[in-house]
Amino acid sequence: MCAIADSVLDATSAQIDLAHSWTERLRIAIRVRWGNELDAYGVSLGMEIHVLFEGVPGVIVRSDGVVIEGADLDNVVHAAVRAAASADRIELCGAMPVDVAAKVREAIRADVEVRVNRYGFESLEQVAAYKAAYATGGAGDAAFFYSAAQSTPLTKHDDVLVAGVANENDLRERVREAHSRGAGIVELYAGLGVSAAAVAREASAHELPIGFID
């Protein structure tokens, strides 16, 4: 069994090295993990992802197996328990305190993944500036992007801009649009990982902090 597992990992590593794009690399990696049909960004089409962010309560996206929902900080754990009844993965926004994230992990079934949005070192000063501006009411909107079978227009829900993206070009366009509309921070969800973060960072001319699910 170990020999088989090692050979799979070796083959996967070789495939990843030979892949021509970051979407191909992501596709290969997640195929090993989930074994299902994948969308353009490598997310299993049978995988249900529920994103929770601290904000105005309510669902702002329900599409392509992805739900994005705002919740009061005091109700995040309750919302996660409810979401875990049907979700394969819970993704938490980058503003989520680590103690709340830990409570979410403790409260839901072990077979449901819990991931927290994170930022690269190059974004930390910009995140701190955004946090300070948010505290005084002067921050721009947050912009959330998620992997989708078909890209969607950038829409506004309270203080959040959101869009689904199906490919790198659309991600670049949506990030640039969000930037031009005054967004102060970007977070990527539902399969948009470190490679997508690099694309988004470049698209923002390195002016916006980019969070992603690692």
Q: Which long-range contacts (CB under 8 A, 24 or more apart) does 97-106 make?
A: 97/73, 100/73, 100/76, 103/77, 104/76, 104/77, 104/80
Which of 23-32, 38-47, 153-162 reaches the highest mean pLDDT?
A: 153-162
For residue 60, the 8-state DSSP code is E
Q: What are the CA-CA distances from residue 203 to residues 40, 93, 152, 176 (Å)?
A: 20, 21, 18, 6
pLDDT in tens, 35-92: 344 444 545 456 899 999 999 999 999 998 999 999 999 999 999 999 999 999 999 9
Region 25-33: what's the mean pLDDT? 44
Please state the separation of Cα 63 from the chain's center in Å.
Answer: 14
The β-bridge partners of 95 are none
Pick from 183, 139, 159, 129: which is nearest to 55 by CA?
A: 159
Residue 64 pLDDT: 80
Tokens of 24: 């191909």
Measured between alpha carbons, how far is 93 from 128 in angstroms, rounded to an integer?
A: 15
Say yes or no to pLDDT of 104 above 90.
Answer: yes
